[in-house]
Structure 1
Amino acid sequence: MRRLLLAAVAALVPGIALAQNCPAPIPASELVKPGTLVMSTNPTLPPLQFVNAQGQLQGMRIELGNEIAKRLCLQPEYVRIEFSAMIPGLAARRWDVINTGIFYTEERARMMQMIRYENNAVAISAARGNPLNIRTQDDLAGKTVGVELGGFEERTLRSMSQALVAAGKPAIEIRTFDNFAVAFQALRAGQVQAVTSIDAVAAEYDQRGDFPRVLHGINATPAALAMRSRPLAEQVSWALQQMLADGWLTNLFTRYGVEIADRSFSIAGPQ
């Protein structure tokens, strides 16, 4: 009944802020902190997640997390941390949700509950002016390329390097960094010749006039929200469905040029 009422309110007034004194539908035992949705993020991916000049978290995924928390009658709280620590931290109950656009893989879905919500892919950014004329993946042979440690992007880059070696070409010299911001700083300083990130981030740097996005759409794979708790995942899936039904999610994704990956917001993970 509570869900029907909330859905009716949302349908009448799209995007309305739901009352924060409504009872949360998730048992406190399923949360790291009662009454709070604790989410991990690495805010180094503009425009999806970043820190503005005032030190505040901003971006599409931050807005998404805030709205999910609101609709579940919880207070949003963020833990800023490098991606490499996120999956171990989820298992150790340091946070409830990985909200960093983690790429979906079957291997990851065997470890945690995953809801695919955003289409994404890997991209390559070159130095300003693209002085090495990188146009194809073959052009990365023998180049020094930076990437964030431990993510899908690094895995994709290593697969690309292996394919080049199998074709008789030089391997990519891969340099890993704690996060994407540091990787792009290394590109600016000439310490690497390209950076592997995701399409939206590479497009943002390109539009700013910083680094051209020379390759994109590589290894297209949905991004997901990840949770340890199945009951929490079920409630998050419900919230996403309501956000789609009343238009809030479509408006958000349109503003950021993002496509919805799975309109059913089904859960993949251990039972």
Structure 2
Amino acid sequence: MALTTTAAGAQECTPRIADEFLVEPGTLTMATSPTLPPMAYADMDGTLKGLRVELGIEIAKRLCLTPQYISTEYATMIPGLQGSRWDMVNAGLFVTEARRKILLMLPYESLAISISTVAGDTEVKSVDDLAGKTLSTDIGGYAEKKMKELNEDFAKRGLEPMKLNLFDNYATVYQALRAGQVEAAVSIDPVAKQYQDRGEFTQALSGLYATPGSLSFISPEVAEGVSVALKEMKADGTFDKMMAAYGVIEAPGDLSYLPLAE
């Protein structure tokens, strides 16, 4: 699903990234998954909202490009980027060694993993309390990787492993918890906090395995253009104000993109 949002003044200045480096001339095409309130989500009329959405719109505006969002699942984001379906993945992909070998990653947000349980549940007070429980999380993501590593640790210590039910996005991750199919849901801190603030679930554990989330690219020209725009936002206070509004901590670094790792 493609959603286009026109930034004010996008056609009133000279684009700062040449058309030859873009999927669509004059447009910054971004893949996102609008299933993670408050980071990225769609309201009742289908309008995209959230920190990542606002960030992409502001970046495009500063680059004199029209922002266009493609709503897709996480599993398709990297293949789509490699296949030139979009210019940038704007979904907070966690920075990992494996991804750095194939993607240009620009860390900008620091995110950690949360464990959500049904509202009022006080049984889960530490990661060891997850032993033997059934959990839901997103397939192929950082959370799945860390839960599998935790299972390996449980095995070494003689604890019963968790059963992991994997889903395409966090909306279905939480739907599984809502439906009683699992005993806990694994997501990221801002998402878990949003659900708790709405009174739907309890954020039983948070701040686990903190790691940078990124904007991701294939094209160095696009990556550099976005980096320059972010540094300008940082310099004039826009970036800090936007992050603070959503309670998201900035990742370590200077908003430069990371070169491919060997």
Return the TM-score normalized by structure 2. 0.94
Counterparts of 2:242 and 2:11 in 1: how far apart (Å)? 21
Identity %: 44
| Partner of residue 92, structure 2 | 101
| Partner of residue 136, structure 2 | 146
Secondary structure of the residue aligned to 2:205 is strand
Secondary structure of the residue aligned to 2:249 is coil
> Which deviations, in whole Å up to 9, do the C-alpha atoms of 1:41-96 show, x marking residues without a partner?
11110001011111111000000000000000100001111101101111011111
| Partner of residue 126, structure 2 | 136
Counterparts of 1:234 and 1:197 in 2: how far apart (Å)? 30
| Partner of residue 56, structure 1 | 47
2:188 counterpart of 1:160 = no
Aligned pairs for 1:108-127 within 5 A: 108-127=99-118
Secondary structure of the residue aligned to 2:190 is helix
Counterpart among 217, 225, 247 of residue 215 in structure 2: 225
Secondary structure of the residue aligned to 1:268 is coil
Secondary structure of the residue aligned to 1:145 is strand
| Partner of residue 35, structure 2 | 44
> Which deviations, in whole Å up to 9, do the C-alpha atoms of 1:150-185 show, x marking residues without a partner?
111111111111111111011100000111101101
How far the C-alpha of 1:264 sits from its partner, in A, is: 1.2
How far the C-alpha of 1:21 sits from its partner, in A, is: 2.1
5+ residue gaps in structure 1? 1-15
RMSD: 1.4
2:22 counterpart of 1:24 = no
Counterparts of 1:70 and 1:245 in 2: how far apart (Å)? 16
Return the TM-score normalized by structure 1. 0.91
Match of 1:241, as an amino acid?
Answer: K
Match of 1:105, as an amino acid?
Answer: T
User: Residues 20 and 70 of structure 1 are in contact (CA less than 8 Å); yes or no, is this contact kept in structure 2?
Assistant: no
User: Residues 18 and 71 of structure 1 are in contact (CA less than 8 Å); yes or no, is this contact kept in structure 2?
Assistant: no
How far the C-alpha of 1:116 sits from its partner, in A, is: 0.4
User: Residues 111 and 269 of structure 1 are in contact (CA less than 8 Å); yes or no, is this contact kept in structure 2?
Assistant: no
How far the C-alpha of 1:19 sits from its partner, in A, is: 5.3
Counterparts of 1:263 and 1:248 in 2: how far apart (Å)? 17
Q: Name the count of aligned residue pairs.
A: 255
Match of 1:195, as an amino acid?
Answer: A
Aligned pairs for 1:242-261 within 5 A: 242-261=232-251
